[in-house]
């Protein structure tokens, strides 16, 4: 049952339209009669079977009362009871008269209050009308005035299927009304008109009048069904499919017929259907916006220009820009384009800027392509709104890095066209630049990133230049977000921005550097690569004076607590030098010394974070590789810097693979043919003097101390040449009161020098032995001093093994330092005792001629005590050293060789023949065997001791072997 309110509304609407119909009824009837008469002439003689022809049918159709009461006849039992078929069969008729009669009958039944009657009529009417429509467009023209109101009324029917069929038939009717008459039918009509003397007929005008009459009924019904109800945010038409058909009908009528009288309700329909839940209806609503804005009629334009409807439409359209369906987004972009074109000014876009930027990276190709065209239109038609240009060009610049090459190239071409427009708009201002090209184009010869094939034109560069601040602020904000996709997009945009800005980037380097310092080491490799590409291009255009002060300020000590910041600054510095141009390189060369000295700051050299160290080396590498040549003073700074970094033990893993190659490259830049020996020779003395100036501040982690050690060890040839100079510094650095770690490092240098060029520096042995080693051997406290004593013994051992001392020097060594050397044998530290006992045998061999009786006794006493040491290695070395001692000790020293001392000593050795360690047993056996052969008196004592061992319950294998050997010798 149709709602009472709808019926009353519909009744009033029909009454108003009837008045209009009556006024033009006579004219229409006259024109229709002429047409039907002409058709009768064409069809031939009257029908023999007495059936009515079309001219006889016309009065019945003309008198068809659409407002008649419903049919009250009894219902037939054979009436339609089955549901409508999706594809009803088309009935066959012998002549057009039967077709028209059937259509008339079913049209009357559509007004029935019974659902089954209306369904049955529509079931039969659909194939009839479609059959009639397919035969000829003229059939639609003739039937339109009789049937349109019935179908319009069906739009209010309670049955969804009837409303749907009504929409479909109305679409067919209106489409047919736009089609031309069949050429054959038109020719016969014109012949008939000429025959009857009618000279003027406006049939097409009559046809459009009928359409206008129908629209007066249709638009209110569509408005009623499609507009939202007063207290409910949903339209009266609840079916999405029917709403979709109604919107199709609405768009078609709106697109093809003049309905300027209904603009206000139509705009409301569009606005509310933009907010519809059904995505296809949203798409049709967007199409309606495009049609509305493209209409050339002046009434439309006046309505849109003087009415806030455009603002409301933009508000309703905005959510569709982010709709989940890509075709809705694509159509919404085009619709937004038309709305903005009507209302010039950036205010409408200000709130949409963020959404527009997101659409630039939409996953739909159509959306991005539509947006590209839209932004171009906006820019061209909003040339006066300079303050909002960034909204137009940002999506275009973003699409320079699109995943599709076709869109990349189109974005590049779009920017080129906009640049051309800008040049045309500012032709007078840019005349000099365009004609004479004052700008330096040396950078343009270098490779540009994708999609650039050549240097951007002047107009495009100026557009980006004028909007740089806004674009860069947007990039800064986006790179600080958590969204990986956003960071990726805007890191690429920063590179594009740098290409367009070129040399003008210099005035913005402070802000850009601060941004790069924060994000250059992003976790995502692709983002890092994009950011570094932007830095590299910036270094191509920016002058060194624009970025060096900012870089130096961010490497100050106050940032030492932030290794990430320091590492990022150094990475940016190294990357910015990778693509530097020759002109900028000349300016940079003036700052080589400043760069080297700044990088030698203690908080950088000392830094424990490997990223900072790697950043220093990477920066030095870029400076050296980019330089065409270097002065000696510049080279010295980097020579010293590299050794400070390389010398620290904690930097070995990072520096070892890099620094040797950098030193060779530095030698090349200094015109030394890549020879490291020449490089060390040139910088040796100066670097040593400079490093020693800070010796009062040296400690166990001082980079200057480690660099001092490394330069001497790596430049050993230069150290040999300047040995006296080196040992004079070593003497000062090993005096009492010096830091024990520093003294240990100096001993390490001395040992290395003796092992490599010992014979060539033997003239300095006196200084080394007496004033360096001898001074430091007496130290006994502390682990670091222990290391110093060990290194001293090690150096002394090298000197003795290499026979670097003369007899005079050996005698002096015994007189002055024997007591200190012997004291090392009694050291509490295990490593020290092992080293000392191993070295003492060599010492005895070399100096036995100069030992006094007291010195022999002290040595013997300490060695005997070591026989009971807890360490197996010490006991082994002590036994072997005692063998050496008895080999060289004079017989006159009864305190050692006398029977009172020697016999207990032999007994002690026999006890150690049963030592738990086999190496000790072997060493004792060899020593006893050696003593037995060296001195007859000793042999007798050993034999007696051996015989006394035979009576023991247990005799070790070594003892048995020794007894057998003694017996054989006896």
| Res. 877: pLDDT tops 50 | yes
Instruction: State yes or no: pLDDT of 400 exceeds 60.
Output: yes
Least confident of 279-293, 499-513, 674-688, 870-884: 870-884
Token pair for 641: 């810097």
> Does residue 731 surpass a pLDDT of 60?
yes
Split at pLDDT 50, 70, 90, the class of 863 is confident
Tell me the mean pLDDT in the region 21-42. Answer: 50
**Taking Cα atoms as reference points, which of 449, 456, 524 lies closest to residue 485?**
524
Q: Going along 333-396, which residue ranges are E strands?
A: none
* DSSP 8-state symbol, 90: P
CB atoms within 10 A of CB 468: 20
228 backbone dihedrals φ, ψ, rounded to 5°:
-70, 150
> Hey, what are 306's tokens?
């003087």
Q: How far is CA 605 from CA 388, 612, 709, in A?
A: 49, 9, 16
Token output for 547: 């970025």
Distance between CA 50 and CA 457 in Å, rounded?
Answer: 84
Query: What distance lies between CA 449 and its chain's CA centroid?
Result: 16
pLDDT band at 950 (very low <50, low <70, confident <90, very high): low
d(CA 334, CA 327) in angstroms, rounded, equals 11
Return the CA Rg of the chain. Answer: 54
d(CA 455, CA 395): 20
Is the pLDDT at 60 greater than 50, yes or no?
A: no
Residue 601's Cβ-count burial label (10 Å; 0-12, 13-18, 19+) is: middle
- Cβ-in-10-Å burial (0-12, 13-18, 19+) of 441 comes to exposed
pLDDT of 12 reads 57
Res 547: pLDDT: 92
* Number of Cβ atoms within 10 Å of the Cβ of 169: 21
Convert the pLDDT of each residue in 402-461 to its tens digit.
999 999 999 999 999 999 998 888 888 887 776 665 455 455 446 788 889 888 999 999
Percentage above 70 pLDDT, the chain: 75
Please say whether the beta carbons of 774 and 816 come within 8 A.
yes
pLDDT band at 275 (very low <50, low <70, confident <90, very high): confident
Alpha carbons 649 and 647: distance in angstroms, whole number: 6
Quote the mean pLDDT of the chain: 77
Instruction: Please state, in angstroms and rounded to a whole number, the distance separating the CA atoms of residues 229 and 236.
Output: 6
Which run of H or E residues covers position 472?
helix 468-479
Tell me how far apart the terminal alpha carbons of the chain are, to the nearest angstrom.
145
Q: Note the pLDDT tens digit of each residue in 885-940.
A: 888 888 777 667 777 777 787 777 777 777 777 888 788 878 877 777 777 777 77
The secondary structure of 602-615 as a DSSP string is HHHHS---HHHHHH
> Half-sphere exposure of 437 toward its Cβ, with a 13 Å CA cutoff?
4
Instruction: Look up tokens 């006579």; give the residue.
Output: 26
- Whether residue 676 contacts residue 659, with contact meaning beta carbons closer than 8 Å, is answered with no
The answer to whether residues 213 and 20 touch, using CB atoms and an 8 Å cutoff, is: yes
* Domains (range + CATH), the chain: 1-42+54-59+93-226 (no CATH), 238-343 (1.25.10.10), 361-432+445-524 (no CATH), 898-970 (no CATH)
Asked which of 314-328, 352-366, 625-639, 802-816 is least confident by mean pLDDT, the reply is 802-816
Residues 282 and 328 sit within 8 Å (Cβ to Cβ): yes
pLDDT of residue 348: 64
pTM over 0.85: no
Give the pLDDT confidence of 343-389 residue by residue, as tens digits: 655 566 777 888 999 999 999 999 999 999 999 988 888 766 667 78
């Amino acid at each position: 049952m149709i709602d009472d309110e709808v019926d009353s509304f519909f009744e009033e609407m029909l009454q108003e339209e009837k008045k209009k119909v009556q006024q033009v009824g006579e004219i229409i009837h006259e024109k229709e009669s002429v047409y039907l008469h002409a058709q009768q002439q064409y069809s031939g003689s009257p029908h023999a079977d007495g059936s009515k022809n079309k001219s006889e049918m016309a009065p019945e159709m003309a008198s068809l009362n659409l407002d008649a009461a419903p049919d009250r006849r009894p219902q037939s039992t054979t009436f339609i009871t089955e549901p409508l078929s999706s594809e009803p069969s088309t009935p066959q008729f012998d002549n057009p008269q039967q077709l028209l009669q059937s259509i008339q009958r079913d049209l009357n039944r559509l007004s029935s209050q019974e659902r089954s009657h209306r369904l049955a009529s529509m079931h039969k009417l659909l194939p009839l009308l479609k059959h009639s429509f397919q035969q000829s467009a003229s059939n639609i023209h003739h039937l339109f005035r009789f049937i349109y109101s019935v179908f319009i009324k069906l739009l209010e029917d309670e049955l969804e299927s009837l409303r749907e069929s009504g929409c479909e038939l109305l679409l067919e009717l209106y489409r047919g009304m736009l089609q031309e008459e069949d050429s054959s039918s038109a020719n016969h009509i014109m012949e008939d008109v000429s025959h009857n003397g009618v000279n003027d007929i406006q049939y097409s005008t009559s046809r459009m009048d009928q359409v206008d009459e129908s629209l007066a009924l249709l638009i209110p019904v569509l408005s009623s069904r499609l507009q939202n109800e007063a207290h409910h945010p949903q339209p009266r038409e609840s079916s999405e499919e029917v709403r979709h058909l109604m919107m199709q009908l609405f768009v078609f009528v709106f697109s093809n017929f003049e309905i300027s009288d209904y603009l206000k309700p139509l705009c409301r329909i569009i606005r509310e259907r933009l907010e519809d839940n059904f995505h296809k209806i949203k798409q049709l609503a967007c199409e309606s916006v495009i049609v509305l804005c493209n209409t050339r009629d002046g009434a439309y334009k006046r309505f849109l220009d003087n009415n806030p409807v455009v603002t409301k439409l933009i508000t309703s359209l905005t959510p569709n820009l982010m709709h989940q369906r890509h075709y809705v987004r694509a159509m919404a972009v085009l619709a937004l384009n038309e709305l903005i074109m009507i209302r010039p000014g950036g205010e409408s876009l200000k709130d949409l800027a963020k959404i527009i930027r997101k659409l630039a990276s939409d996953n739909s190709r159509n959306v991005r392509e539509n947006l590209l065209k839209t932004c171009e239109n906006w820019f061209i038609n909003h040339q006066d709104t300079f303050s909002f240009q960034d909204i137009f060009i940002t999506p275009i610049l973003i699409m320079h890095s699109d995943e599709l090459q076709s869109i990349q190239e189109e974005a590049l071409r779009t920017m080129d066209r906009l640049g051309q427009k800008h040049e045309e708009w500012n032709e007078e201002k840019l005349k000099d630049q365009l004609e004479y090209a004052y700008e330096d184009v040396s950078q343009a010869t270098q490779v540009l990133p994708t999609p650039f094939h050549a240097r951007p034109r002047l107009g495009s560069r100026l557009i980006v230049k004028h909007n740089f601040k806004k674009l860069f602020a947007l990039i800064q904000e986006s790179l600080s977000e958590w969204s990986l996709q956003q960071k990726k997009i805007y890191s690429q945009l920063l590179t594009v921005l740098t290409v367009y800005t070129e040399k003008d980037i210099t005035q913005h380097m402070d802000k850009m550097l601060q941004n790069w310092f924060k994000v250059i080491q992003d976790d995502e490799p692709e983002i890092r690569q994009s950011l570094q590409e932007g830095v590299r291009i910036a270094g191509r255009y920016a002058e060194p004076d624009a970025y060096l002060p900012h870089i130096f300020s961010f490497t100050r000590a106050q940032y030492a607590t932030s290794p990430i910041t320091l590492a990022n600054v150094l990475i940016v510095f190294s990357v910015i030098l990778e693509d530097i141009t020759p002109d900028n390189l000349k300016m940079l060369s003036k700052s080589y010394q400043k760069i080297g000295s700044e990088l030698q700051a203690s908080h950088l050299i000392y830094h424990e974070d490997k990223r900072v160290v790697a950043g220093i080396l990477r920066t030095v590498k870029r400076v050296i590789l980019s330089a065409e040549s270097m002065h000696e003073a510049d080279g010295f700074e980097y020579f010293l810097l590299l050794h400070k970094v390389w010398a620290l033990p904690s930097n070995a893993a990072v520096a070892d693979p890099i620094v040797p190659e950098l030193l060779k490259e530095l030698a090349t830049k200094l015109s030394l043919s890549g020879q490291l020996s020449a490089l060390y020779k040139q910088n040796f003395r100066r670097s040593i003097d400079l490093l020693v100036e800070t010796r009062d501040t040296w400690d166990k982690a001082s980079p200057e101390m480690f660099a001092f050690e490394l330069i001497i060890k790596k430049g050993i040839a230069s150290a040999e040449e300047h040995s006296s100079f080196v040992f004079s510094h070593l003497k000062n650095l090993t005096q009492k009161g010096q830091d024990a770690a520093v003294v240990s490092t100096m001993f390490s240098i001395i040992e290395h020098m003796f092992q490599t060029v010992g014979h060539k520096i033997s003239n300095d042995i006196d200084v080394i032995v007496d004033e360096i080693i001898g001074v430091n051997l007496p130290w006994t406290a502390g682990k670091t001093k222990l290391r110093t004593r060990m290194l001293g013994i090690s150096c002394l051992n090298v000197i003795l093994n290499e026979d670097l001392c003369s007899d005079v020097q050996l005698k002096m060594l015994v007189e002055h330092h024997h007591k200190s050397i012997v004291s090392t044998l009694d050291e509490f530290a295990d490593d020290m005792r092992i080293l000392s006992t191993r070295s003492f045998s060599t010492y005895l061999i070399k100096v036995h001629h100069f030992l006094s009786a007291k010195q022999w006794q002290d040595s013997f006493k300490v060695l005997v005590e070591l026989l009971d040491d807890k360490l197996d290695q010490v006991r082994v070395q002590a036994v072997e050293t005692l063998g050496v001692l008895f080999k060289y000790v004079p017989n006159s020293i009864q305190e050692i060789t006398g029977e009172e001392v020697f016999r207990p000593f032999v007994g002690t050795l026999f006890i150690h023949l049963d030592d738990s360690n086999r190496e000790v047993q072997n060493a004792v056996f060899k020593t006893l065997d050696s003593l037995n052969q060296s001195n007859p008196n000793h042999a007798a004592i050993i034999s007696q001791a051996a015989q006394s061992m035979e009576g023991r319950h247990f005799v070790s294998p070594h003892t048995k072997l020794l007894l057998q050997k003694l017996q054989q010798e006896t």
